[in-house]
Amino acid sequence: MLKRLVKFLKNNYPESNINEYLDAKYLHLTGPQLKHIADAIDEGDLKPTHASKCTADKFIFHFGETIILVQRDNTSSDMAYQAELSWETDFLAIHSTRNKGKGFYFIAFEFDDDYQVTIKDTDKFLDDQVRNNEQNIELIEKAMPVLKGFMVAISE
């Protein structure tokens, strides 16, 4: 899926952050691995920690049809990480902007030390793509518990 995403970016957004994806550590979790993390959280084996305790500075977190590029925020903002969710869908182009059969939907966001999310503007959308902020928030809210669980699992 990462190869399809990089190809999509090269074809549709050649001036974008492709190198950020290529330089990040790639982590793909399977269903059983995700369940293991969820069970550990439910059973209290994983204690919540602040995002700043996570040892990873830049990584790609892949689960299901979702890839999230996560990068530690090194600016002076109150945010701990910057992130970009890439969700594989059936309504955009992978190979060309002329073929609108399948592709990716992007949501840029950031989160603070307590994993509180703020949606950011993105320039990664095609001219005829419908953007729905409420839907974007719902997608992020579904992904954040999985991302948080993983980050807590690899924290110091």
pLDDT tens digits along 95-136: 445 555 567 889 999 999 999 999 999 888 766 666 788 888
What pLDDT digit, counting tens, does each position of 56-65 carry? 999 999 988 8
Query: What's the number of domains the chain is made of?
Result: 1
Strands 103-112 and 66-72: unpaired
Which has more pLDDT, 33 or 89?
Answer: 33
CA dihedral 16, 84, 25, 44 (to 10 degrees): 180
* Distant-in-sequence contacts of 39-43, Cβ < 8 A, 24+ apart: 40/149, 40/153, 41/149, 41/152
pLDDT tens for each residue of 28-87: 999 899 888 888 888 888 888 999 999 999 999 998 888 999 999 998 889 999 999 998
pTM for the model:
0.84
Domain span holding position 143: 2-153
Question: Mean pLDDT, the chain, as a whole number?
Answer: 85
Q: What pLDDT is attached to residue 4?
A: 85
d(CA 73, CA 101): 35
